[in-house]
């Protein structure tokens, strides 16, 4: 039993020390999203959906939950944010070609329609990010209109 207690004590000490370390936070400001919103012209309803369900992982602006201060949870969250920004980052929108922007919206439509976005692991702790059928329809219609605006997608009938 003594060895188990020693192992647990060492693990506890390591856990406490680990709390002093963590990944760099994703700490941009809403100005980094301005170019994306100016170009894509989301309605107020769509802006709310984007803020509640998308921007935390797909921009340089993240609202961190309280448990982000716990290592190793903060590393797990950081991994999700970095991965999300690799796929779709509205804070780096200006440098993309029209073809790439259109493709990103094509992926957005596909992922939202099949319910893959936002991730279940995100909506468990962010109830306001769970999209209703009406919100999905609003978001998808907006995204389809943006694709038409880019001129690479025919107008819907």
> pLDDT 10s per residue in the chain (157 long)?
788 888 888 887 877 776 777 777 767 777 788 889 999 999 999 999 999 888 888 998 887 777 777 888 778 878 888 888 888 899 988 888 899 999 999 999 999 999 888 877 777 777 778 899 999 999 999 999 999 988 766 555 5
Half-sphere exposure of 40 (CA within 13 A, CB side): 28
Q: Cβ atoms within 10 A of the Cβ of 11, count?
A: 10
Q: What's the confidence (pLDDT) of residue 154?
A: 58
Burial of 77 (0-12, 13-18, 19+ CB in 10 A): buried
Q: What's the confidence (pLDDT) of residue 74?
A: 79
- C-alpha–C-alpha distance, residues 34 and 105, integer Å: 17
- C-alpha–C-alpha distance, residues 51 and 58, integer Å: 10
Evaluated on CA atoms 105, 111, 115, 118, the torsion sign reads negative
Q: What's the confidence (pLDDT) of residue 157?
A: 54
Buried b (16+ CB within 10 A) or exposed e, 40-55: bebeeebeebbbbbbb
Evaluated on CA atoms 146, 28, 63, 19, the torsion sign reads positive
């Amino acid at each position: 039993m003594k060895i188990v207690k020693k192992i647990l004590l060492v693990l506890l000490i390591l856990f406490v020390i680990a709390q002093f370390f963590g990944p760099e936070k994703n700490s941009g400001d809403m100005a980094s999203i301005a170019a994306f919103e100016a170009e894509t012209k989301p309605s107020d309803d769509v802006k709310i959906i984007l803020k509640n369900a998308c921007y935390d992982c797909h921009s340089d602006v993240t609202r961190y939950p309280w448990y982000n201060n716990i290592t190793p949870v903060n590393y797990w969250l950081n991994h999700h944010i970095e991965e999300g920004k690799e796929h779709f980052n509205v804070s780096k929108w200006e440098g993309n070609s029209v073809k790439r922007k259109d493709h990103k919206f094509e992926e957005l439509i596909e992922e939202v329609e099949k319910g893959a976005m936002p991730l279940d692991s995100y909506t468990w702790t962010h109830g306001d990010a769970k999209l209703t059928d009406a919100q999905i329809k609003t978001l998808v219609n907006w995204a389809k209109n943006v694709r038409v605006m880019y001129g690479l997608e025919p107008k819907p009938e």
